[in-house]
A = this chain, B = another copy of it.
Amino acid sequence: MAGSNFGTIFKITTWGESHGKGIGVVIDGCPAGLPLTEADIQPYLDRRRPGQNRYTTKRMEADAVEILSGTFENRTTGTPISLLVRNTDQRSRDYSTIAELYRPGHADYPYAQKYGVRDYRGGGRSSGRETIGRVAAGAVAAKLLAQLGITFTTYVSAIGPVRIDRNQCDFSRITESSLLMPDAEAEQRALAWLEQCLRDQNSSGGVVECIIRHVPAGLGEPVFEKLDANLARAIMSVGAVKAVEIGDGTDAASRRGSENNDYYHTDADGIPHKQTNHSGGILGGISDGTDIVVRASFKPTPSIGQPQPMLTRDGSVTTEAIHGRHDPIVVTRAAVVVEAMAALTLADHLLLNMTARMDNLKLLYAKE
């Protein structure tokens, strides 16, 4: 079945395997007239590239993106935008031994059960490299959103047992932090934790949080295409994500109504403002005009250097060590993937919401 599409109006289709010829995405439904060149997209891909710190895989790919269609004179034309990133550093020999093995925590076994055949080189389609298509498309969505003033702040809020303290966060330091943490003190502890993981040939889970600002009220379509529902799907579809939370998330379950409701008060100018944002900017599945807050919990990458029990294709269990290049921590590279998926979701909902009222129809068609 066709599972490689995301979105209704701003719709993407991704393709590509870890060790195939390349990875790509087709963006269909991007409005005409958006300024766009490769220079808008490349910085997003660079954010997900390995090698930014010593806790990410040693695989080096330029991941240079090429726009194959959909723009003319550096503007979108309304036709599909095809983006291509060629694979260059594939070293498929590293993976030959795993053809017969189903690695723990990986998709090897389910893929084999589902399709009968699988491209075992580097995880094939289930590789993290698949996210290149998401990120490239997300960069275009983010460019669109930026035209309307919508911005993203994305960071790592936890690594293993280390969590940031929300009272001592400085969001301006995210870009300079090798771990994308806004809390310098937490970052130091996280670095120590990761050193230990490296020494143990182990890996660590973590949490990515994304704040989306300046979103107009009204985005989200009741009842199955709610904004939070689609953010949840978008982000849970990223490999290794095991939980998605909106606003206060799981914490809301232990609270009482009077503690969890966000109350309005009127400020000095007589303008009403929410005093709190427990809801994370979404009520009834529709944006309420305040900051949207979404959070993703990533499991530790299952590929670790230690020897581990593995299932074999013939049904026996053997103990092997996995070779190859893997990240002991994925959240630093995954942050831009979460942001990309959020941007894609927002862009689609922004377009969908244009059709919500007769007023809008009259406004647009009357101008002609």
Distance between A225 CB and nearest chain B CB, rounded to angstroms: 3
Q: Is the CB of A255 within 8 A of B300?
A: yes
Tell me whether A239 and B284 are in contact in the complex, defined as CB-CB below 8 angstroms, given that A13-B13, A69-B17 are known contacts.
yes
Which residues 101-118 of A have a CB within 8 angstroms of B?
104-107, 109-111, 113-118
Name the B residues within 8 Å of A359 (CB-CB): 33, 116
- In the complex, the count of this chain's copies comes to 4
Highest count of chain B CB atoms <10 Å: which of A224, A225, A254, A280:
A224
Would you call A78 an interface residue if the criterion is a C-beta within 8 Å of the partner chain's C-beta atoms?
Answer: yes
Mark out the residues of chain A between 228 and 280 whose CB falls within 8 Å of any chain B CB in the assembled complex: 228-237, 239, 241-250, 252-266, 270-272, 278-280
Rounded to whole Å, the gap between the CB of A197 and the closest CB of chain B is: 6
The segment out of A47-55, A57-65, A166-174, A306-314 that lies at the interface is: A306-314
Q: Which of A176-192 contact B (CB under 8 A)?
A: none
Contact A309 B263 (CB under 8 A): yes
**Among B24, B197, B309, which residue has its beta carbon within 8 angstroms of that of A68?**
B24
Q: Which residues of B contact A80 (CB under 8 A)?
A: 4, 13-16
Interface size class of A (residues with CB under 8 A): 35 or more
Chain B positions within 8 Å of A364 at CB level: 354, 360, 363-364
Please determine whether B217 and A109 come into contact, CB atoms closer than 8 angstroms: yes
User: Which residues of the partner chain B approach A243 to less than 8 Å between Cβ atoms?
Assistant: 243-246, 249-250, 252-253
Judge whether B33 and A203 touch: CB under 8 Å: no
Asked if A356 CB lies within 8 Å of chain B CBs, one says yes
Identify which of B223, B261, B304 contacts A4 (C-beta below 8 A): B223
CB-CB nearest 5 A-B residue pairs:
A107-B284, A3-B221, A233-B233, A110-B286, A3-B225
